[in-house]
Amino acid sequence: MFSVKPPAAVVDIMTMLRRAGHTCYVAGGAVRDIVMGRTPADWDIACSATPEQIRALFARTIPTGVAHGTVTVLHRGASVEVTTYRHDGPYSDGRHPDYIQFVADVCQDLARRDFTMNAMAYDPIGGRLVDPFHGKEHIERRLIMCVGDPMVRFSEDKLRMVRAARFAAVLDFDIHDSIIAACTTLAAGVSQVSAERVIAELKRLLGGVAPSRGLRLLDDTGLMGYIFPELVTSVDAQRRSQLYSACDDLPMWAWERAAMVLSPLGPVAAEQSLMRLRSSRNQATTVAGIIRGAERLADICLPQGRMPDAAELRAIARATGPDSLLAAVRVHLATRQALAATPVGTAAASGGDMPAQAPEADLGGHPLVLLAASVLASNPPLRVGELAINGRDVIAVTGIERGPAVRTILERLLDEVIRDPSANTRDRLLELAERFARGGADTTG
């Protein structure tokens, strides 16, 4: 029926379940991927067997989530989650059902799921698709719809509202009006969801093919005001929309796009916002570094109407980290394009002498991006540890004592090497270190 074929381990497990008298199907997101012609990353099986029966049938299992009917079966080098058909009770805590009840009918199991595209079951052996909620039709229409009443689905787990936005971004699908209405009504409920769950969904949203779709759903329904209230209160709706659109033109790296969205807040506030959402310190500092680099580029390009030179780009890479330089350049260019509503690289968007570029041109071909890539390719010294001398050498040649003064001289030496990488030789740096220790500022000759 479909071109995507399951792994041998999945077929074996399903065959063994059926020989034991149970019904079973591939279920959930795997079926959505199969219908879309994609190979699933995970193949989950739903079946009529209870967890005890599953564990008795297979030699190697892990009781992953027995309370909710899930057992992981280890077979032929694969780990496959096998879950009993179930019906969920009320969700008093807004995340977990108060109780579950195992059932014999796969359609009852599908009825508890969030979106119709995730509420299908597929028998790859017999080629049968079980689709009681028309998920395949909705996929073909590129439409996200809830199973049943969205108010009920989202009241069960408030994170599903953010998941709807994430799917819109990842799949580039439209959102049904009923979902928009329910999200608008229940938006405040997202504040009850743990920050860790929210940031995980946002990361996937920002890494999607059409992040602007998901971001606009969050914004239009009021969800954004609970996720990033700092953004909504300090940036007007039109500018936010422009920033969301600009994300679509950036590479599919979540944190570069996060920097795009949060850039109006500045690096410090953006980092604080992400830390509040329990983002990792590394992720938050990466975003802050990209924003800081983009701001420095704007300080050069906009008032002076020119592109930065290689030395200025090296200085920015020193401040932001080399891994963030290209991202900072792209965010700077995309911001200018979004806010000026002109093609990337034109005078209005990027500064008077910035090279013009056709509207359809990719950011990757912009002269500033190419210059930054060339700077990085030359592997310039950007840290004190990459200098041709170290602190012991400074102490030996200057006679000063170990302490902050040594670090100050090393930082000044790095300033010189950033300006002129050819200065990164032992003899030249020792000469400069002596001069700095004597209080000399002249670095010529």
- Buried (b) or exposed (e) across 187-215, using 16+ Cβ within 10 A? bebbeebeeebbbbbbbbbbbbebbbbbb
- 103 domain residue, yes or no: yes
Tell me the two tokens of residue 431.
């000469």
For the chain, give percent helix, strand, coil, nearest 5: 60, 10, 30
Report the pLDDT value the prediction gives residue 349, as an integer from 0 to 100: 40
Residues 300, 424: one domain?
no
Least confident of 104-113, 238-247, 395-404: 395-404
Specify whether 335 is located in the same domain as 396: no
- 423 and 360 in a single domain? The answer is no
pLDDT at position 440 is 54
> Looking at 331, 352, 377, which one is the last position of a domain?
377
Q: Is the pLDDT of residue 279 over 60?
A: yes
Residue at 25 is within a domain: yes
Backbone angles phi, psi at 98, to 5 degrees: -65, -30
Distance between first and last Cα of the chain: 76
At 338, is the pLDDT very low, low, confident or very high (cuts 50, 70, 90)? Answer: confident
CATH number of the domain within which 102 lies: 3.30.460.10
Predicted local confidence at residue 341, as pLDDT: 57
Per-chain mean pLDDT for the chain: 92
Domain boundaries, position 369:
283-377
Lowest mean pLDDT among 273-277, 368-372, 425-429, 440-444: 440-444
Residue 126: inside a domain, yes or no?
yes
Smallest CA-to-CA distance from 283 within 387, 351, 162, 200 is with 200
Q: In the predicted model, what is the mean pLDDT of residues 439-445?
A: 52
Do 6 and 64 belong together in one domain?
yes
pLDDT tens, 344-386?
444 334 344 444 443 334 777 889 999 999 999 999 999 999 9
Q: Are 420 and 429 in contact (CB under 8 A)?
A: no
Q: Specify whether 318 is located in the same domain as 410.
A: no
By the 8 A CB rule, do 208 and 252 touch? yes
To 5 degrees, how large is the angle CA 9–CA 76–CA 105? 35
**Measured between alpha carbons, how far is 57 from 51 in angstroms, rounded to an integer?**
10
Confirm if 296 and 316 have CB atoms less than 8 A apart. Answer: yes
Q: Are residues 329 and 432 in the same domain?
A: no
- Bridge partners of residue 84, in order along the sequence: 47
State whether 125 and 15 are in the same domain.
Answer: yes
**24's tokens:** 């079973």
Same-domain pairing of 321 and 341: yes
Are 79 and 7 contacting, i.e. CB atoms less than 8 angstroms apart?
A: no
Q: pLDDT per residue over 123-174, tens digit each?
A: 999 999 999 999 999 999 999 999 999 999 999 999 999 999 999 999 999 9
Mark whether 57 and 106 lie in a shared domain.
Answer: yes
Select from 377, 405, 422 the last residue of a domain. Answer: 377
Q: What angle do CA 260, 209, 282 make, to 5 degrees?
A: 45
Q: Give the pLDDT confidence of 224-268 residue by residue, as tens digits.
A: 999 999 999 999 999 999 999 999 999 999 999 999 999 999 999
Is residue 61 in a domain? yes
Say if 442 falls within a structural domain.
no
Nearest one of 183, 247, 179, 250 to 219, comparing CA atoms: 183
pLDDT value for 347:
38
In a domain, 338, yes or no: yes
Say whether both 402 and 361 belong to one domain: no
Bridge partners of 121, per DSSP, are 27, 130
Among 87, 114, 132, where does a domain finish?
132
CA distance 346 to 333: 10
pTM for this model (two decimals): 0.87
Q: Is residue 242 part of a domain?
A: no
* 413 & 311 share domain: no
Our count of domains for the chain comes to: 3
Residues 388 and 327 in one domain: no
Q: Report if residue 265 sits inside a domain.
A: no
